[in-house]
Chain A
């Protein structure tokens, strides 16, 4: 199993990680090796086997629709890289 440079560049965009040309070359080899390892799965007979997402087959627990958390915005925003008037700041998105 090989993974092309184009695939790696596409996946890096999806994952929001900047990669340069040298990294893509290294990733081509490393990711190729990992996918080779993973390819052993294709040999397994999984006809009529249900996928297992959670070891105890748990389902989402529901709780009463009540407010249980207090407002901690100031505390949470104190650790943010940039905030103003209670808002998180990012570079301008709309001109």
Chain B
């Protein structure tokens, strides 16, 4: 039976982990991830989820315990944010080349200093090159669905890579939204049992994590890269089959009134919904403007991006992170790189918005679109614009 309930997104994500029947959860509390792991602890304490909950002493150990758990063949989940993700960074890098299918939710929050518990994507960008599959969601339903989908992708024998789901702290994790929970039987049908091919098992000894001298190191890294590139097919198939089973469809690059629009904005995460309202209003005012949303961050959807912007003349990027001393928005620079060799490509205007939880409102997005069009036309002395900053 399908139920639709009003529920806090963090609680809903924990319920999704329960629906996925995780075996091991290792987590350390950090705002704004706490409600996810608290509710998981409750589910385990009440016997609603049969799992081992390891209340580790740090995020470094959280991810380390996840490595051990996944290597032993258990379905493994953790969640973190910000400094926690930074502390576990060393371990995050290890999961992908060791091909350990861990699922991690990141409740995106800015990195210190100054300390800020509020959302932006600086933590997300700090793990860009860790080799994880990375999905960005923008509402509670997407968070729930993609938590279940993530286990299927990660554990697929053709993938065997860890998956990170990025969801903005507070503006997404702490809001109450109407969520449709898929039925347990339907999830069980969609998500097969984890069959990790070479687990740590005394009956069949394997050596994992050996060191690699130069004669073999490049080959190990190439194997990792090929696995991540090839995962895109499986990701798309997992999304398609989810759509067939549950009626909600996800794509690497999602479009909103973007077909044929001369001006496009590109968003990541929860700000995308506010931006959509701005798009609606601007279109009512007669502007030819649309939106694309980046759902799949890694592997980067080059083909889908190029297709989505092929008719646009201006593309305004909305990054929620800053590459200090560099080109500004990290996603913007990747998009520029992806389009540089195209014969027909839009002018790209890079905006950095909403750092450390500062809201960009509907009127803010409208303002950015208007400014962005002008910059595309007349140029700017800046490499990028930082919206609304007091200098």
Q: Say if A and B assemble together.
A: no
Q: Identify the A interface with B (CB < 8 A).
A: none
